Amino acid sequence: MAILETPTPRRRRREEAHVRAIESDFTPAVKSLVETLGKGLVAVIVDRDVKTVSRWMGGALPRGEEQRRVIDTLQICELLLSGDAPSVVRSWFMGMNPQLNDENPAEVLAEGRSRDVMAAARAYANAS
């Protein structure tokens, strides 16, 4: 008989962040990111201008890579928001991060390295 493992609170937070991100429609996902991070920071992350982010908030859909980056960022953001205030999460995305060789997570996401940023976010969340 197999013993079912009860998820730890940390694992549950990661799973819940994942589910919220993948089940979000695109426009609400962008609005949520803008509410937490601001249009300028979201624009940096998706490597587009603020006007493009505004169009997405209005319902326009991006290309596949941009959409993936928004969903990845939302998942990271949701994980961090499960333990910290939005102002802390915004600062986390902008600040130098030792897990990322002192690069800031927003610029690393803009380079398409979402797995690296997720690993850094998990390390931060687990330390909190």
The rounded distance, in Å, linking the Cα atoms of 105 and 114 is 9
Q: Spell out a b/e string for 67-94, using b for 16 or more CB atoms within 10 Å of the CB, else e.
A: bebbbbbbbbbbbbbbbbeeeebbebbb
**Surface-to-core class of residue 55, CB atoms within 10 Å of its CB (0-12 exposed, 13-18 middle, 19+ buried):** middle
Provide the whole-model pTM.
Answer: 0.81
SS3 per-residue string spanning 74-120: HHHHHHHHCCCCHHHHHHHHHCCEHHHCCECHHHHHHCCCHHHHHHH
Ranges of each domain in the chain: 9-127
The 10s digit of each residue's pLDDT in 6-59 is 555 555 655 565 455 454 678 888 999 999 999 999 999 999 999 999 999 999
Both tokens of residue 63?
A: 């290309």
Determine the average pLDDT of the residues in 100-117. Answer: 97
Nearest to 77 by CA among 106, 108, 110, 107: 106
